[in-house]
Amino acid sequence: IHPGQLEVWGTALGDDYLLEYRTGSGGDWTPLQAGGPVVNGTLGLLDTSSLNGGPIDLRLTAFQAASQDRHQITIFLASNYAVHPGWPRALAPANTDSEPAYADLDGDGRKEVLLSTYGSNLYSVINAWRENGSPLPGWPVTASDVKVPRTPAIGDIDGDGDLEVVVGSENGRVAAWHHDGRMVTGFPRQPSADVNSGDGNIFRGVVLANLDDDPALEIIVPMITGLTHVLKGDGARLSGWPKYLGMFEWTAAAVGDLDRDGRVEIVNRQPNGFSVVRRDGTPLCCWASSTLNPGTYISPAVADLASSGYPWVVDVDAYGYVSAYSSTGARMWLSPVSVPFSDSGLAIGDLDGSGLKIFVGDETGRLYGIDAFGFMLPGWPVRVNDQVSGAPLILDLDGDGRQDVLSASREGGIYGWDISGRQILGMFAPAGVSRTPAAGDLDGDGDLELIVVDLAHNITVFDLPVPFDPDRADWPVHQADPRRTGHARFRDPDLLPRNLRLAASTTASGRIDLAWDPPLNSAGVAGYDIYRNGQLLSPVGSVASYADLTALIQVPYTYWLIGRDAQHFLSTPSNTATLTLLDTNSPTAPDGLVASSSRYDLAYLEWNPASDDVGVNNTGVTGYQVLR
């Protein structure tokens, strides 16, 4: 509810009643109003303008002689979060079919906010604002032949280590810009809508993924005609493409390494099935036999629901059923609760360490939480005040180290719930929310910023006073990440460090030297996380060696690495390597042994102590063996 005067309405029968309220959990009750019987009328007025945002309990007690009847409800008071300095910005031109995005385009450690817009002439205008609301130099950019632009996908398409912004459009064109706003050579590109000619509609935008053996990302361009193009960073087609994969639904593509061969497959939703193809466009085994209910506007998603290493595909059909399909196309489950038709989108994440969960909204204002086996989570569904606007997000909203779910509604409510369905966040965008929000740390202060596009054609950044942890943000933007992979916890094989090896130092005790070969995308890797015996030992930069100076002697240590880039994409773990530091140097022999005795049954032995200071990794002299 909005802060202000709240009318509490209801029925209280009997002799009289008492209405009370309390804020927070388990606080003291404060009397609000007492009176005689009321039938379908005002029980009391509560001024919430001076109260802190959060849950408010209301308790009504009706009295009849010596008996009483009590009823309690909980409401949630919206918080007034500060608007980030420099915002809001009015959209000019005002129309958008784009979800907001963010990325550090200029490499200054702060994120830029991106949004595609268009005017009455349908020309594309791609905006990039600094975190303080000022335009990034070189932006916005305009493309008159790219009409009705879609959501930007952001990644390195030319292998130079810098980010490019790639946009598909309603008239079937693809445009790409360098980080400084220059158009990438070879773009805009008009892939044909059929094998020969024609226009096509790139309805949900493009996806970036690596489909060949160089470090640059390719651009996957699915058209609703079913013709899918794959473009290189210079606009040329990848060899073997385009492919006609059958008519598609009005959904986005998703990518994932379903068969664990180190390369992603492309997943598209067809009217009554899936198109799942390898990087060369050939079908992945067994998916052609999958039969489905008709599709919706909700795009398929990819996630390792079974924690097996083989991702599954998650789908919502026209009848509202949520289904999960194994990596070989077998339907693993069909949710027992149907979700009324919605085009809000999916989000998938692990909220509390117990495994991935699926969240999807419906047209009646309900948001559903479904576990990895297809069953409704306890406490779900939850409600918003109007139709769910866009897809939910998954990230830590209250700084407790566990992820939560954020969703917006068209009337302007923005809500957050923990895994139990308990509301933990409430705020309002007065003009209503038109697109999926985006959440992250834009200004580098470690706290969370929330990007909201409203129905009055403004974009606003709000400051939320909670820390943002990218490791606890499984789905912080539309389609999971800036590349729009639609893959929960996508792991980038091009960031995988190779050939990890260990060596014991010959000059220092307690030191193990690590070395490795760089990944395929050596230009894009920002650093590595080094793990020892299952625990994070240290993050390092873009280097190829590390010295562990804290190793103990005669303790086995197993190491592995995870690569990461500037957008916080991570690799799968590297090969493991194990080493135990051993004391291989014998101590010196004790000398000066003498024996003495003062009794016939007792001998005293004395000697000069041995030393164990030759070489490294010495355990020291721990004892002597006396022989007679």
- Say how many C-beta atoms besides its own lie within 10 A of residue 435's C-beta: 23
Residues 313-325 have pLDDT tens digits of 999 988 888 999 9
Residues 27-66 have pLDDT tens digits of 899 999 999 999 999 999 999 988 988 999 999 999 999 8
Q: Check pLDDT > 50 for residue 195.
A: no
Phi (first) and psi of residue 470, to 5 degrees: -60, -20
Cα–Cα dist 333/321, whole Å: 10
Q: How confident is the model at residue 198 (pLDDT cuts 50, 70, 90)?
A: very low
CATH architecture of 153-244: Beta Barrel (2.40)
* DSSP per residue, 65-110: TTEEEEEEEEEEEPP-PEEPTT--EE-SS-B-----EEE-SSSSSS
pLDDT at residue 492 in the model: 86
Residues 433-474 have pLDDT tens digits of 999 999 999 999 999 999 999 999 999 999 999 999 999 999
Average pLDDT, the chain: 91
Q: Which CATH number is correct for 5-77, 3.30.70, 3.30.310, 3.40.50, 2.60.40?
A: 2.60.40
Cα–Cα dist 73/89, whole Å: 39
Closest CA to 448 of 106, 84, 90: 84
Give the domain ranges of the chain. 5-77, 153-244, 493-581, 587-627
Cα–Cα dist 4/47, whole Å: 6
Closest CA to 474 of 377, 334, 346: 346
- Say how many C-beta atoms besides its own lie within 10 A of residue 538's C-beta: 12
pLDDT at residue 387 in the model: 82
Cα–Cα dist 360/339, whole Å: 8
Mention every residue, 6+ apart, whose C-beta is less than 8 A from residue 9. Answer: 40, 41, 42, 43
pLDDT higher at 361 or 196:
361
Mean pLDDT of 565-587: 88
pLDDT at residue 100 in the model: 97
Q: How confident is the model at residue 289 (pLDDT cuts 50, 70, 90)?
A: low
Element (H, E) at 349: strand 346-349
Radius of gyration of the chain (CA): 31
Give the pair of three-digit tokens for residue 310. 């083989």
Give the pair of three-digit tokens for residue 393. 């997000």
Q: Looking at 58-72, 285-299, 342-356, which range is the least confident one? A: 285-299
Which neighbouring-strand residues pair with 334? 323
Evaluate whether 5-77 and 153-244 have a shared fold.
no
Cα–Cα dist 434/432, whole Å: 7
Q: Which amino acid is at 494?
A: D
- Tokens 């804020």 -> residue: 23
- Tokens 């596009």 -> residue: 453
CB 154 within 8 A of CB 115: no
Cα–Cα dist 348/367, whole Å: 13
pLDDT at residue 17 in the model: 95
Closest CA to 295 of 356, 259, 246: 246
Q: Is the dihedral of CA 538, 543, 549, 553 positive or negative?
A: positive
CA angle in degrees (0–180, nearest 5) for 269-270-273? 90
Q: Check pLDDT > 80 for residue 132.
A: yes
pLDDT at residue 196 in the model: 44
Mean pLDDT of 156-163: 92
Q: Which amino acid is at 598?
A: S
Q: How confident is the model at residue 194 (pLDDT cuts 50, 70, 90)?
A: low
Residues 54-104 have pLDDT tens digits of 999 999 999 999 899 999 998 999 998 999 999 999 999 999 999 999 999
* DSSP per residue, 221-249: EE-TTSEEEEE-TTSPBPTT--EE-----
Cα distance from N-terminal residue to C-terminal residue, the chain: 90
Phi (first) and psi of residue 337, to 5 degrees: -115, 120
CB 297 within 8 A of CB 251: yes
Q: Looking at 166-175, 406-415, 599-608, which range is the least confident one? A: 599-608
CB 35 within 8 A of CB 11: no
Cα–Cα dist 125/133, whole Å: 17
Q: How confident is the model at residue 342 (pLDDT cuts 50, 70, 90)?
A: low
CATH architecture of 493-581: Sandwich (2.60)
- Tokens 């000019």 -> residue: 92
Cβ density class 574-613: b for 16+ within 10 Å, e for less: beebebebebeeebeeeeeeeeeeeeeeeeeeeeeeeebe
pLDDT at residue 91 in the model: 96
Q: Check pLDDT > 50 for residue 197.
A: no
Phi (first) and psi of residue 560, to 5 degrees: -155, 165
DSSP 3-state percent helix, strand, coil across the chain (nearest 5): 0, 45, 55
Tell me the percentage of the chain whose pLDDT exceeds 70: 97
CB 270 within 8 A of CB 255: no
3-state secondary structure 109-161: CCCEEEEEEECCCCEEEEEEECCCCCECCCCCEEEEEEECECCCEEECCCCCC
pLDDT at residue 295 in the model: 77
